[in-house]
Amino acid sequence: MGQTTKNWWRNGAIYQIYPRSFMDGNGDGVGDLPGITGKLEYLSNLGVDAVWLSPIFPSPMADFGYDVADYTDIHPMFGTLDDFDALVAKARSLGLKVLLDYVPNHTSDEHEWFVESRASRGDPKREWYIWRDAKDDGSPPNNWESYFGGPAWEWDEATGQYYLHLFDKKQPDLNWRNPEVREAMYDAMRFWFDRGVDGLRIDVLWLLVKDEEFRDNPVNEEWKDGDFLPSRQSRVYSEDRPETMEIVREMRSVAEEYEESRVLVGEIYLTLERLMAYYGGETLDGVQLPFNFGLVLLENWDAKSVRSLVDEYEAALPGDGAWPNWVLGNHDMPRIASRVGEEKERLAAMLLLTLRGTPTMYYGDEIGMKNVEVPPHLAHDPQGKVHKSYGRDPFRTPMQWNAEKNAGFSNAEPWLPVAGDHQKVNVEARESDPSSTLSLYKKLLGFRRVSTALGLGAYSSLDGMPDECFAYLREHKGEKLLVVLNFSGEEVSAPLPEGGWRVEVSTRLDREEKASGVVEMRPYEGVVMSEG
């Protein structure tokens, strides 16, 4: 299965767990590590190779764990280090890898480093964060805005300076120009690698370094009312600075200290060209997987748009060895089933699991969970408090395990409401339905395991298809697969390349048959075909 090989992450599928919402083991309404451990068998049966846990570290939860107060411990709400070791041991026994979230751009303001840093101007930790004087009129040092709204600077009365926070004011930005910060943060990586963690998903990797002169960001002329507020500025001076690559390379060399592969997955929202830089150029000594959010951000789910996206991404990959990856959803973005609708949800699943590259799935997408409307009095997300239509609670609701109270997630009132459709949309119901989305995910994941062409094969898109269809070949040493996806609500005949073909998987899970010349595609159907 390639699980123990150095590059397991190439043909392995990653599954993102949002720990607060996966499974509550101790009945307090919030998910935890023992809860997750108890569900690892479900994940290994599903057929994924690795789990990535969003932050589980001590945190005042101003940004639900993305405000870390201690990088080398577990929040009591999630359990203990022993619980974590038990989770890793169980994962190992099932052949699953474990990835953690690593949040290097900022800490919590309750992290002891920041408590010291703000104690006085002369404190040895002062330069661990980004402190600046006010302008003459008392206003912030520059015009940078926080992603969560308002200025990115918070005035500290006691020491008479502003500190920088690109997110909540409870998330002060670390000063990555300071070598002491780097060493401390690399030690945090080693702490988890030494404990057997197989990789890290690195939070907002492109934000780590800021302009040395703190120049004002220019106004984004294209921004219009209603757009995502943080895009009001072109953030050219507050992010993606050239110096960032040096740090990315240093992080990679920390990962390379280990014999078994430690994979680094970078969270990066940038243009295709800039994204590719994070592989580290021709030498590929950056992160192994800079997250590719193309499918997450795609607006038009038609054959032409999807094909251009995939072809452009494939063509932009640097060198021979840069390994692609694909994502359909995460805890920051509306759920795929809500974005593309029930008809195309299965096409999306087939794309994710048959394109070349490492797929990352988001918990619950495999059963077709949708965004859940969260009434304002139950909302938690700091982003949603400022930009109402950009609140992220709707995609972080409890996993739907069964039709029972609270969807089997918890005996207590869950921290976010459970979806109203959980009686129909849940793991138990979907497992017993051989034609469900869950069954499709299982089938495709199973197929990836046995097919080297799917796991590692070359990709080439096919010309000559009807406008409604996007088709591509995946080939590896004599094994040839053809994927045809009909993005329309019409029946379409898709011409096949010469030779005999056989449908191995249909998104409807109801046919396995031979075809030559053409394959008849039903509305919104996708098929994986083998040659022969």
Catalytic residues: 203, 257
Binding mask 122-161 for ligand GLC (x = CB under 6 A): ----------------------------------------
For β-strands 50-53 and 131-132, DSSP reports them as: unpaired
Contact call for residues 178 and 78 (beta carbons, < 8 A): no
26-65 positions binding ligand GLC, by CB under 6 A? 63
The nearer residue to ligand GLC, 111 or 331, going by C-beta atoms, is 331
The nearer residue to ligand GLC, 15 or 447, going by C-beta atoms, is 15
Query: Which of 8, 113, 114, 167 is close enough to bind ligand GLC by CB under 6 A?
Result: 167
Characterise 36 by phi-psi region: left (phi > 0), alpha (psi -120 to 50), beta (else).
Answer: alpha
Report the candidate in 178, 163, 230 with the shortest Cα–Cα distance to residue 208: 178
The nearer residue to ligand GLC, 97 or 106, going by C-beta atoms, is 106
The residue with its CB nearest to ligand GLC is 66
The nearer residue to ligand GLC, 398 or 526, going by C-beta atoms, is 398
CA pair distance 249, 353, nearest whole angstrom: 29
In sequence order, which residues have a C-beta less than 8 Å from that of residue 33 and are 6 or more positions away?
19, 25, 56, 74, 78, 79, 83, 84, 86, 87
Burial of 439 (0-12, 13-18, 19+ CB in 10 A): middle
Instruction: Give all strands of the β-sheet with 325-327 in edge-to-edge order.
Output: 289-290, 263-266, 199-202, 97-102, 50-53, 14-17, 358-362, 325-327
Q: How far is the CB of 180 from ligand GLC (least distance, A)?
A: 22
Q: How far is the CB of 63 from ligand GLC (least distance, A)?
A: 5
The nearer residue to ligand GLC, 339 or 430, going by C-beta atoms, is 339
Q: Which amino acid is at 215?
A: R
In sequence order, which residues have a C-beta less than 8 Å from that of residue 183 and are 6 or more positions away?
none
Report if residue 263 touches ligand GLC, rule: CB under 6 A: no
Q: How far is the CB of 51 from ligand GLC (least distance, A)?
A: 16
Report if residue 110 touches ligand GLC, rule: CB under 6 A: no
Report if residue 204 touches ligand GLC, rule: CB under 6 A: yes
Looking at the DSSP bridge assignments, the partners of residue 117 are none
Q: How far is the CB of 91 from ligand GLC (least distance, A)?
A: 22
Binding mask 320-359 for ligand GLC (x = CB under 6 A): -----------xx---------------------------
Query: Which of 9, 15, 66, 114 is close enough to bind ligand GLC by CB under 6 A?
Result: 66
Alpha helices in 195-263 (DSSP H): 244-255
Burial of 489 (0-12, 13-18, 19+ CB in 10 A): exposed
Binding mask 267-306 for ligand GLC (x = CB under 6 A): x---------------------------------------
Looking at the DSSP bridge assignments, the partners of residue 515 are 501
Q: Which residues bind to ligand GLC, rule: CB under 6 A?
A: 63, 66, 103, 167, 203-204, 267, 331-332
